[in-house]
């Protein structure tokens, strides 16, 4: 498992910062393997897969188990399944950001060489206070390590994707066929395991090929959800 994801940290290319510049995101999380686990996913497999992707793939730390639900602001960075996501969403990075501003002195010259100064609020960065990763219960999951069938969503791929956002929330989604583990959508029977081991239907550059093409239907998408906290102003 570690070999399959060893190269993912360098594969997700930096695609520019979002409007907010996120700093100090959480570097550790706990796993909820008790609630809403689909029948086709073994709790022990979910724990071991999540730990491998987080620690071996993205350099994050898994603190152990939790009963906290992903998507609730409760002081715990939780990873788990939920039934609360929109029906077409595979997984979500859910976080609670706080914008930080600094008051600075700005002076302008006026007529007769007079200088008028005032203090204004300037954006510095956005701090993430808490973050969760949620996987949807609405899909038929392939828990691996085998590749997904044409009616399955690959859990390894979605883990790599969502924990990539957890590691660096400034990363943007990549376009279909870009070869990025942060692809904007993933269809049934598709996967991303390594830069040289991924498959997306109708992508001629996919290094892996299926003998039978995946069904032609809309690909489920990924979601990023921010719950803004009150701003902070520093001097």
Answer whether residue 230 is part of any domain: yes
Output the DSSP codes for 28-51: EEEE--SSS--TTS-HHHHHHHHH
Q: How far apart are CA 70 and CA 76, in angstroms?
A: 9
Could you tell me if residue 207 is inside a domain?
yes
- For residue range 56-78, list pLDDT tens digits in order: 999 999 999 999 999 999 999 99
- The torsion angles phi and psi of 66, rounded to 5 degrees, stand at -150, 160
Give me the pLDDT at residue 73, please.
Answer: 96
Residue 74 lies in a domain: yes
pLDDT at 3: 43
pLDDT along the chain (235 residues), means of 10: 46 52 97 96 98 98 97 97 96 97 87 81 95 97 95 97 97 93 95 95 88 65 95 90
* 168, part of any domain: yes
Structural domain count, the chain:
1
**E strand map for the chain:** 22-23, 28-31, 61-65, 78-82, 89-109, 115-136, 141-142, 153-154, 191-194, 197-199, 221-226, 232-234
pLDDT at res. 211: 57
Report the 10 Å Cβ neighbour count for 35: 16
pLDDT at residue number 19: 83
State the residue range of the domain holding 46: 2-11+18-100+128-234
């Amino acid at each position: 498992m570690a070999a399959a994801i060893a190269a993912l940290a360098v594969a997700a290319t930096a695609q520019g910062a979002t409007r907010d510049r996120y700093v100090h995101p959480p570097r550790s999380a706990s796993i909820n393997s008790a609630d809403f686990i689909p029948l086709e996913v073994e709790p022990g497999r979910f724990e071991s897969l999540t730990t491998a992707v987080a620690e071996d793939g993205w350099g994050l730390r898994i603190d152990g188990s939790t009963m906290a639900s992903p998507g609730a602001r409760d002081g715990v960075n939780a990873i788990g399944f939920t039934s609360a996501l929109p029906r077409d969403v595979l997984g979500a990075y859910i976080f609670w950001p706080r914008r930080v501003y600094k008051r600075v002195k700005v002076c302008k010259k006026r007529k007769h060489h007079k200088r008028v100064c005032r203090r204004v609020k300037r954006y510095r960065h956005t701090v993430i206070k808490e973050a969760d990763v949620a996987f949807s219960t609405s899909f038929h999951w392939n828990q691996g390590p085998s590749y997904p069938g044409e009616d399955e969503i690959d859990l390894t791929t979605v883990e790599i994707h969502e924990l990539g956002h957890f590691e660096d929330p400034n990363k943007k989604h990549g376009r279909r066929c870009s070869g990025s583990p942060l692809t904007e959508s993933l269809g049934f029977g598709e996967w991303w395991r390594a830069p040289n081991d991924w498959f997306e239907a109708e992508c001629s550059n996919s290094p892996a090929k299926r003998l039978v093409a995946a069904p032609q239907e809309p690909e489920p998408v990924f979601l990023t959800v921010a719950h803004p906290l009150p701003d902070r102003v520093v001097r």
